[in-house]
Structure 1
């Protein structure tokens, strides 16, 4: 890699990220059933109906995996806590074995000099709560607050940062309007309520953690740059609606206490009564902001009901997810976030990476495409810092090839190849390139 640690500020954090259901092995340790188990058991939802029962068996191999993180020269490890592992029914009885696992995991990070960056929810809702309406039910904010208290009373004294919910757009819109992830609903009323309740839960969890005396609290938002397909008024309007739904709704709610009018035009009739009264809880101050960035979308006007948006296949090179590679969007979002939402608040790139085939050859995995992807996006981070944006860290998605949700185990994002038959780990060329870039000049 051309870039290395010395090209960034001395206090800049380099890390890598994973999530619980994608790597741990949900059949281990007394974890309860999740709506992802239900979604995968429904024909047609997931490639080969694969699930997270075994995944990467991180539950038993976490020490080996954290050695990989530390040996690469990373400063921090971003992980998530499975709600159903801690509270198998989502409420009530605590699974002591589950809490013990996260206790051991955090201690193992600290033993290796890694800063723990925790996420409380990365999409694995307990099935018992899904039965009660899940994210459509306003009570989920209190359920989530109770889970937050249980988890953080155990490990909150040793984690450096906590984000309540990873990628609220995926939790709400993708999963309740587009039906692409669990629970697989396609209903605008359900989506509108999930869009609000996911932020209400974020606010409640933040309130609980402040009550425990915790700092280092943030929010993590996935963002996609919205390009109009042409210069027509219709295409510009479609891109603006997409931008509002995908990017501005969640940041606007959290950092400005308001939702964009361009989205309220379609969603307000379906929102809960008196939703405005929740905005002070949703928009309480945070300590940092996280951005997950992968791609852009090219948008055109569509037919049918609101939001009437069509995605157009773009002309840029694409990853194995068929996502366009558009590193300039990361710079654009970093600047816009600081200018319009967060000001001087620290910003972290909490996820960035690419999927590809990554087949081992003679015991090695060459992935020059991933090295180029990482370097091009890190270059945009450098530009943002040079322009005065307070970017304080960058996290690679992901440490390991893992369960990629509805795509099963086909899409490989990892710096480390996982053989899903033997579970053997093989660091890829990108891992070694980063290792050299991060350790050569590390004091």
Structure 2
């Protein structure tokens, strides 16, 4: 080999080494999650199951019948028909390499009147679901309440009545007793704050109630029911069950403009976030809410509410930007987003740094409990591409950026153990009906055919590799 060829070979080798180093550096910059980090997805019963053979109404059945409550006039009677197609949907979970699935149990499916006579068909369904998940190598996570109160209990006052806490404990004890041999992880509630504020204060969700007093009554009775159920299940489970709850937690910022927006944001933060976190972890309600909650409190309530938990589920979608509004529920209302803020199809701001901020706050202010992101995702105006499926690059970018926020928090000592995407299937999106699409899988509304989107393949690769590429 002559001198020129030797020089060319050396140059090529140097270039190749540089390329390899650059490739390794780029790979190192991608978020790599721990090997035992849990990847999953979450759903809720009313949004996907369909009515099936459920004999009794829940409050969402009644709410959907009211004119003007649902944007497209739809309901959850069919939804995704998961009640009959759950094996097909479990195959989708397994195909994505997911190791956990958080679903909710419909209270009226197992207790049509909310108490008393048991519907065996409902118990059998959730038993089959748990067995099928375990057979597929997927850990079942059961949520006891995702907003579908039996209408029979609503007719007796629902969450406005203190006695609802006793009914919830009975229901929780029944379910854990029947399924606790196969389901270890139990969440008492999903987003009780949304249910109290949007459903009992603003009237935009079931049961459609309005007013500050209704909101605070629902809030306190949810907290009381949760605390009592945690204590009952911990005793009944003999320490074998992992018990927790799931909250919608969003950093609250003052909207740009008036100085009064600062106090409005602090008040909304107290209602949305701290009305649930403070009594659970600190045994007290925020001072700003003391006057509203005082008539509801009895001497031992806060001790009953402040129970130890094994995990906290965090549902995060966006920051909240609040403005002062004397006509608002608590003198606060949603304000304008900062100029240039990108939004999802729901009009929610895309701010992944808010997830990082919330995780850090839970570390610093609430003792760094064992945490899982139990919902995070986005609705976009999905369109079928030339490939015949939805090429949802916006959703992939959204998830990638939020996973980067999780990874950053992990690196700073946040006790985060897993991430559950919302959600696997396009489904009934509450007051928006079927006009919004959060799923990794498209569901044809006429045929109910499931067609995975590009985001399904992307998230499957993340779940298998632990790298958010």
With the length of structure 1 as denominator, give the TM-score of the two structures.
Answer: 0.95
Measure, in 1, the Cα distance between the counterparts of 2:111 and 2:55.
8
Q: Which digits, 9 at most, give the CA deviation of each residue in 1:208-233, with x for residues without a partner?
A: 21122242101111012111123753
- For the pair 1:20 / 2:20, whether they are aligned, the reply is no
1:277 equivalent among 300, 318, 321:
300
The residue that corresponds to 1:369 in the other structure is: 394
The residue that corresponds to 2:9 in the other structure is: none
Measure, in 1, the Cα distance between the counterparts of 2:262 and 2:248.
21
Contact 2:31–2:404 (8 Å) recurs in 1: no
Q: Which digits, 9 at most, give the CA deviation of each residue in 1:327-383, with x for residues without a partner?
A: 00101110101211133x211001000011223245211100000000000000000
Q: Where does the alignment leave 5 or more consecutive residues of structure 2 unmatched?
A: 1-25
1:378 equivalent among 395, 403, 428:
403
Measure, in 2, the Cα distance between the counterparts of 1:4 and 1:46.
44
The residue that corresponds to 1:191 in the other structure is: 215
The residue that corresponds to 2:311 in the other structure is: 288
Q: Secondary structure at the match of 2:229?
A: helix
- For the pair 1:312 / 2:349, whether they are aligned, the reply is no
Measure, in 2, the Cα distance between the counterparts of 1:185 and 1:80.
23
Report deviation, 1:120: 0.3
Report deviation, 1:310: 2.7
Matches within 5 A, 1:67-78: 67-78=91-102
The residue that corresponds to 1:98 in the other structure is: 122
Distance change >3 Å, CA 306–CA 72, structure 1 → 2: closer
Contact 2:162–2:221 (8 Å) recurs in 1: yes
The residue that corresponds to 2:148 in the other structure is: 124
Distance change >3 Å, CA 324–CA 2, structure 1 → 2: farther
Q: Secondary structure at the match of 1:113?
A: coil
Report deviation, 1:306: 6.2
Contact 1:385–1:391 (8 Å) recurs in 2: yes
1:258 equivalent among 271, 278, 284:
284
Report deviation, 1:10: 1.4
Contact 1:222–1:247 (8 Å) recurs in 2: yes
Report deviation, 1:112: 0.7
Contact 1:418–1:426 (8 Å) recurs in 2: yes
Matches within 5 A, 1:28-427: 28-213=52-237, 214-230=240-256, 232-265=258-291, 267-268=292-293, 271-272=295-296, 274-304=297-327, 307-314=330-337, 315=339, 316-343=341-368, 345-361=369-385, 362-427=387-452
Measure, in 2, the Cα distance between the counterparts of 1:68 and 1:59.
15
Measure, in 2, the Cα distance between the counterparts of 1:226 and 1:440.
34
- Consecutive aligned runs of 4 or more in structure 1 exceeding 3 Å deviation: 1-6, 230-233
Q: Which digits, 9 at most, give the CA deviation of each residue in 1:389-418, with x for residues without a partner?
A: 110000000010001011101110001000
Measure, in 2, the Cα distance between the counterparts of 1:263 and 1:133.
23
Q: CA RMSD in A?
A: 1.9
Measure, in 2, the Cα distance between the counterparts of 1:306 and 1:295.
20
Measure, in 2, the Cα distance between the counterparts of 1:22 and 1:347.
25
Contact 1:200–1:282 (8 Å) recurs in 2: yes
Q: Where does the alignment leave 5 or more consecutive residues of structure 1 unmatched?
A: none
The residue that corresponds to 2:10 in the other structure is: none
Q: Which digits, 9 at most, give the CA deviation of each residue in 1:225-261, with x for residues without a partner?
A: 1111237531111111111111111011111111101
Q: Which digits, 9 at most, give the CA deviation of each residue in 1:144-178, with x for residues without a partner?
A: 11111111111112113111110011121111111
Measure, in 1, the Cα distance between the counterparts of 2:27 and 2:185.
30
Q: Secondary structure at the match of 2:312?
A: strand
Distance change >3 Å, CA 441–CA 313, structure 1 → 2: closer
Q: Which digits, 9 at most, give the CA deviation of each residue in 1:311-336, with x for residues without a partner?
A: 21213110011000010010111010
Contact 1:235–1:300 (8 Å) recurs in 2: yes
Q: Secondary structure at the match of 1:212?
A: helix
Contact 2:212–2:329 (8 Å) recurs in 1: no
Q: Which digits, 9 at most, give the CA deviation of each residue in 1:102-134, with x for residues without a partner?
A: 000001110011011110000001000000000
Report deviation, 1:205: 1.6
Q: Secondary structure at the match of 1:394?
A: strand
Q: Which moved more, 1:275-284 or 1:193-202?
A: 275-284
Measure, in 1, the Cα distance between the counterparts of 2:174 and 2:30.
37
With the length of structure 2 as denominator, give the TM-score of the two structures.
Answer: 0.90
Report deviation, 1:3: 9.8
Report deviation, 1:303: 2.1
Q: Which moved more, 1:312-321 or 1:414-423?
A: 312-321
Measure, in 2, the Cα distance between the counterparts of 1:54 and 1:306.
34
When Rg is computed on C-alpha atoms for both structures, the one with the higher figure is 2
